[in-house]
Amino acid sequence: MTVQIAQRVQSIKPSPTLAVTVRAAEMRAAGHDIIGLGAGEPDFDTPQHIKDAAIEAINKGFTKYTPVDGIVTLKQAIIDKFAKDNQLTYNLKQVLVSCGGKQSFYN
């Protein structure tokens, strides 16, 4: 039996994100100090307090999509942090929270 792959499938190009991730890994392996902005995989485990907060949110039914520019309470916490720690003043329209760089750049 011969399997024929559809032309549309054959025309799919490799993900640029994965190419960037591979290149960053190669550079890191070569000893360069790299901050990878490709696949978005952190190089550390999720801290326990974040795991606990995520479980609590799920248990409270916080499981739907959030506003595209971020949750207002999170944005306000970021504003408060920068005011306290860095003496910088922002308003809600100046803060955007996203799930990754690609979303921020392209959405």
pLDDT digits (tens, 9 = 90+) for 15-53: 788 888 889 889 999 999 988 777 767 778 999 999 999
Asked if 61 and 81 sit in the same domain, the reply is yes
Give dist(CA 5, CA 75) in Å, integer.
Answer: 47
Contacts within 8 Å (CB) and 24+ apart, 65-70:
68/98, 68/107, 69/95, 69/96, 69/97, 69/98, 70/95, 70/96, 70/97, 70/98
Asked if 50 and 83 sit in the same domain, the reply is yes
* pLDDT surpasses 70 at 102: no
Q: What is the mean pLDDT of residues 79-104?
A: 91
Asked if 66 and 105 sit in the same domain, the reply is yes
Please state the domain count of the chain.
Answer: 2
Domain interval for residue 55: 45-107
Give dist(CA 20, CA 30) in Å, integer.
Answer: 15
Asked if 9 and 35 sit in the same domain, the reply is yes
- Judge whether 81 and 89 are in contact, CB under 8 Å: no
pLDDT at 107: 60
Q: What is the pTM (predicted TM-score) of this model? A: 0.57
Give the residue, 22 or 76, on which the prediction is more confident. Answer: 76
* pLDDT surpasses 90 at 82: yes
Asked if 23 and 34 sit in the same domain, the reply is yes
Asked if 59 and 106 sit in the same domain, the reply is yes
